[in-house]
A and B are shown apart, each in its own frame.
Chain A
Amino acid sequence: MAKIIVVTSGKGGVGKTTTSAAISSGIAMRGHKTVVIDFDIGLRNLDIIMNCERRVVYDFVNVINGEANLRQALIKDKRAENLYILPASQTRDKDALTVEGVERILNELAADGFEYIICDSPAGIEHGAFMAMYFADMAIVVANPEVSSVRDSDRILGILQSKSRRAERGERVEECLLLTRYNPERVAKGEMLGVTDVEEILATKLLGVIPESETVLKASNQGIPVIHDIESPAGQAYSDAVGRLLGEEVEHRFMSVEQKGLFKRLFRRSA
């Protein structure tokens, strides 16, 4: 049975697409057949983050409308063996997604043997974001350590707990928090919310902390999901998060200044 994971946040620009690309790549690299779906209809961007923007022929909405089949629309990732991308449509409006249409595609993907279906949600709490989370078994709530992002995360948690299909059936979506763009130095100075603060406010299990890192921009410049950059703290932090997602016990790192200092020292020594 396929596990459907939504990457969501409420607030825009917090790192959902970066996370969807990294996490789906990481799961696939560990041998699981994985598909990542861009639900940001009209603002397709997962394709450019994953360097397949010039290979898009058909998209998610084409498949829903029966204008193409899944096989024609799925793009095989060039880096990770078991990974496929289903791009968003660039032209249609977001009402093109229907509950029935999305359900049909998810069922087809599951029947095709996909083990993990990652849904990259658009920002907001409108139709597109609702479609991305409705069928989810698990939700990765991406937040930045900043007041508006944390507040929006709580709203999204509320929606997951009341409006998702699992909620309608009296079940629960497995929720976890991914705190990204984390800056331990600023936390130490009391200028930024710390991970324990955010955990306490949201009362949600922590999947991981991704440090603010220059390598994320470098990775997106080249269209290489940052998880492939195994030297970078952000790449390593995403790798750890994938491990936890798959049930491994992985200790948290990159959360404090000391650790980061040690890392730098180790790096310098090995360089």
Chain B
Amino acid sequence: MSIFDYFRSAKKDTASIAKERLQIIVAHERNQRNKPDYLPKLQQELLEVIRKYVDVDQDQVEVQLDNNGNCSVLELNITLPDRV
């Protein structure tokens, strides 16, 4: 099957692909910008506290705020380094 056939047989037209991709990225970006301003600073300070005890990288500390109806959940995810 040539690439050409692949495109022709694919059900989805390119406009639908565009729409789907946009819906995902727009939802993600809206979620980001609805976050309170203090989040990056909170993340930074948490990282500093954790680093007093364990050696972790910046990207090993994940802070996420999820809104579920009228309550928000602050989720903290820290990946500790492998024990050797």
Contact = CB atoms under 8 A, between A and B. Distances in A.
Contacts of B16: 190
Given A189-B13, A192-B15, A201 B29 contact: no
Contacts of B18: 146-147, 193, 197
Interface residues of B, number: 14
Of the listed residues B15, B21, B33, the one surrounded by the most CB atoms of chain A closer than 10 A to its CB is: B15
Interface string B22-62: 11011001100100000000000000000000000000000
A202 B14 CA distance: 19
B73 to A, nearest CB: 23
A150 B22 contact: yes
Contact of B26 (A146, A154, A189, A193): A154
Contact of A151 (B13, B14, B22, B33): B22
B19 interface: yes
Given A154-B29, A162-B33, A201 B22 contact: yes
B13 A191 contact: yes
A201 B15 contact: no
Contacts of A87: none
B15 A191 contact: yes
A193 to B, nearest CB: 5
Nearest to B23: A201
A33 to B, nearest CB: 37
A155 interface: yes
Interface residues of A, number: 19
Contact of B15 (A151, A158, A162, A190): A190
Contacts of B22: 147, 150-151, 193, 201
B15 A197 contact: yes
Contacts of A155: 29
A201 B21 CA distance: 10
Contacts of B13: 189-191
A63 B26 CA distance: 39
Nearest to A150: B22
A187 interface: yes
Given A151-B25, A191-B13, A197 B30 contact: no
B29 A194 contact: no
Contacts of B30: 154, 158
A269 B29 CA distance: 50
Of the listed residues A155, A187, A190, A192, the one surrounded by the most CB atoms of chain B closer than 10 A to its CB is: A190
A267 B23 CA distance: 39
Contacts of A191: 13-15
Of the listed residues B23, B25, B26, the one surrounded by the most CB atoms of chain A closer than 10 A to its CB is: B26
A147 B15 contact: no
Contacts of A192: 15
A147 B21 contact: yes
10 contacts: A146-B18, A147-B21, A147-B22, A154-B30, A155-B29, A162-B33, A189-B13, A190-B13, A191-B15, A197-B15
Interface of A: 146-147, 150-151, 154-155, 158, 162, 187, 189-194, 197, 200-202
Interface of B: 13-16, 18-19, 21-23, 25-26, 29-30, 33
